[in-house]
Amino acid sequence: MSTTATANPVDEYVPTPARRRIPVWLAIVAASIPMFMASLDNLVMTNALPVIHRDLGATVEQLQWFVNAYTLSFATFILLSVALGDRFGRRTVFAIGITVFTLASIAAGFSTDPGQLIAARAIQGIGGAALMPLSLTLLAGSVAPRLRPLAIGIWGGVAGLGVALGPLIGGAVVQGWDWQAIFWINVPVGVISVPLVLFALPNSFGARVRADVVGVILVGLGVLGIVFGIVRGNDAGWRSSQVLGALIGGGVLLVAFLWWETRSQAPLVPLGLFRDRSFSIANVVGFGFSFGMFGSVFILIQFLQVVKGASPLDAAIQTTPWTMAPMIVAPLAGLIAPRVGTRVLITLGLVLQATGLFWLAATMSPTVPYTTMLYPFILAGIGMGLVFSPSSTAVLATMHEQDRAKASGVNSTLREIGVALGVAVLTAVFTGANGQLTPTGYVNAAIPAVLVGASVVAVTALASLALPSGRVAKAVRAEVRA
């Protein structure tokens, strides 16, 4: 792809079929804002959960489903969205996803009982499934190879900003207005994003093959069965037919999914992609990182409100050193990654995250001062920023252009499954330890839950050592020279 050389890389232009000169910065904005909206909704509810618990009379199990209904439908439909984007146009499906997400946000804002809210969140996830992978694919195809690490770094910073501002915006809106308003803020973003996307991004296509609907059903029901079994385990009993049936059935469906993918002419997940070591380990990192960190966030933000008595906004401000750090660190990591490779940044980031979580678990108590929590918050935040962009770069490092959408889709799917399982497992540990949403019944059960999250991140750090060293830098330089 040729670009017009200027002093500032982001002032270069994206060639389009109509020969319009679209500045690269505008393409970055168009691809990133909808993805920001989707990443925001991963955590925007966390500070609102205690308020929703009181307002709607929601149980601990329902609080999980407010989060997991979104992440599970998101994970289930990501790869189908990628396949539809390949067939009908990535920009077209991207714009449809924004529209569905916006309409579902309106439905969530009108919800008056837990069932309605869970259903709206599930539809939100379907719309969001088109946003994360297609935004990265559209962006990667809109910039020159030599600008791609910078663009992905900015994209990762925006993703980090969505994660960072989720609790802060949620807390501010809930305290200043009501919890329904956290969904209404998506509406103007969606309204602005659709025409911007249609104007600034070229409509690229992939292989126009039939969508793997059987694969979608198998993987969706399989993951749902496992998460449902984990969520119901403590209440229904781990040996109950309901729980065992869900866990075993989910496992069988996932095995059937893998078998089907080897037989399908147009597989949802081309298993051959996993022969690439950078791609495979980067996906292990994405899953483990999401499992440990987001599961711990679910526990810790409620600790600040339930135990420490913080308001939703105060809790969001107190976690700002953790959640805002990726906004600064992720773009810098994207710039550094081509020079030093992804392995050192990802491993360091995971080590910092694990250290921060172990530190928080070791010091958590009803009387712990905020200053004691501040330092591990900062460590965990820097660690998150070091993982966001380099892991996305590692996923796409050696992918051919026609494989980028599915590669990004697989990575986004595993990340979202990691979020759902992390929230489910850590909450199961919490409730299994007789945890309650009261000042006296929270801490002793929250500590083992956070320890589980920290341990998963630590194991993921060890796995990240298998990433190729310096591979990304060499690949990018070779592509630029070509």
Q: How confident is the model over 229-236, as a mean pLDDT?
A: 80
**Residues forming a β-bridge with 29:** none
- pLDDT-derived band of residue 120, with 50, 70 and 90 as boundaries? very high
Length of the chain: 482
φ, ψ (nearest 5 deg) of residue 447 = -60, -55
Nearest to 268 by CA among 225, 207, 213, 220: 213
| pTM (2 d.p.) | 0.75
Both structure tokens of 54? 């009181």
Q: What is the largest CA-CA distance in the chain?
A: 66
DSSP string, 211-278: --HHHHHHHHHHHHHHHHHHHHHHHH-TTSHHHHHHHHHHHHHHHHHHHHHHH-SS-SS-GGGGGSHH
Cα–Cα distance, 54 to 58 (Å, whole number): 7
User: What confidence tens digit (pLDDT) does each residue in 127-140 have?
Assistant: 988 887 788 778 77
Q: What angle do CA 28, 33, 36 make, to 5 degrees?
A: 120
Per-residue pLDDT band for 22 (boundaries 50, 70, 90) equals low
Say what the pLDDT of residue 160 is.
64
Interacting residues of 14 by C-beta distance below 8 A, sequence separation 6+: 3, 21, 22, 23, 24, 27, 142, 143, 200, 202
For the chain, the structural domain boundaries read 20-201+268-481, 213-267
pLDDT-derived band at 19, boundaries 50, 70, 90: very low
The Cα 409–Cα 288 span in angstroms is: 17
Where does the pLDDT of residue 474 fall: very low under 50, low under 70, confident under 90, or very high at 90 and above? very low
Q: In this structure, are residues 453 and 357 in contact, taking their beta carbons and an 8 Å threshold?
A: yes
Task: Encode 122-147: b = buried (16+ Cβ within 10 Å), e = exposed.
Answer: bbbbbbbbbbbbbbbbbbbbbbbbeb
pLDDT tens per residue across span 309-365: 888 778 878 888 887 777 778 778 777 777 787 888 999 999 999 999 999 999 999
Eight-state DSSP code of residue 145: G
Structure token digits, residue 434 = 């007789």
Average pLDDT of span 49-63: 79
Average pLDDT over residues 103-121: 91
Q: Is the pLDDT of residue 165 over 80?
A: no
pLDDT by residue (tens digit) across 235-252?
A: 777 888 988 999 999 999
Tens of pLDDT, residue by residue over 349-403, are 999 999 999 999 999 999 899 899 999 999 998 998 888 778 877 777 777 767 7
- Homologous superfamily of 20-201+268-481 in CATH? MFS general substrate transporter like domains (1.20.1250.20)
For residues 402 and 393, what is the distance between their CA atoms, to the nearest angstrom? Answer: 16
Backbone angles phi, psi at 208, to 5 degrees: -90, 80
**Span 205-225, pLDDT tens digits:** 866 667 778 888 898 888 888
DSSP notation for 35-85: HHHHHHHHHTTGGGHHHHHHHH---HHHHHHHHHHHHHHHHHHHHHHHHHH
% of the chain with per-residue pLDDT over 70: 88
Tell me which residue of 44, 41, 66 sits closest to 55, measured CA to CA. Answer: 66
Q: Which is higher by pLDDT, 256 or 263?
A: 256
In whole numbers, what is the pLDDT of the chain averaged over residues?
A: 81
